[in-house]
Amino acid sequence: MTNNIIQFPKTKMKTPPQSKEELDKELLDHKTSYVTDITDHYGSTIYNKLAMHGFNVDSDEFMKDYAYTIESLKSALLRNIGVDHVIQKTVDKDVTEYNVELDDEYIPGTEVTVSEMNEAEKESEDELI
C-alpha cells in the first residue's frame, strides 16, 4: 500500500503583526529579549571573574545582592532603549531622596571625574616632553 497522504504541518506558521498593537508588543518583546541576553552574558562573566578573584559567590547573601545588581543593570539598559522596568521607580525615588548628584563627568566605580582624569593624563604627557 502506498502512502500518498501529505501530513499537514502541526506547528503554526508565524504571521506578521496584524495591528499596531501587535507590532508594538513584538518590538517590546525583542528589545526585552535583547537586553536580557546581554545582562545574562555579562552577569555570568562578572560572576565568574569575581569567583576567580576569590570572592565567595556561593553564599545566599551574595546571590541576593548580585541578583539585584544584575536586575539593576537590566533596568538601566531597558531605560536606555525606552522600556520600563519596576526598579526604575525605586532608583528615581532614591536618587531624589538621598540627593545623589549625577554629574555627566562622573566615572562610575571611581572617585574621579572625566575632567580630573583628563588633567592627570595631560600632566603625565607634559612630564614626558
User: pLDDT tens, 10-34?
Assistant: 777 778 888 899 999 999 999 999 9
Phi first, then psi: give them for residue 106, nearest 5 degrees.
Answer: -70, 135
Say which residue, 22 or 104, is predicted with more confidence.
Answer: 22
Q: What does the alpha-carbon distance between residue 77 and residue 74 come to, in Å, rounded to a whole number?
A: 5
Query: Domain count of the chain?
Result: 2
Q: Quick one: 129 and 71 in the same domain? A: no
Domain contains 56: yes
Span 25-54, mean pLDDT? 96
> Is residue 31 located within the same domain as residue 93?
yes
Q: What is the pTM of this model?
A: 0.67
My answer on whether 30 and 80 are in the same domain is yes
127 vs 83, more confident: 83
Cell of 33: 529579549
pLDDT value at residue 106: 59
Where residue 58 falls among pLDDT bands split at 50, 70, 90?
Answer: very high
Parent domain of 44: 20-98
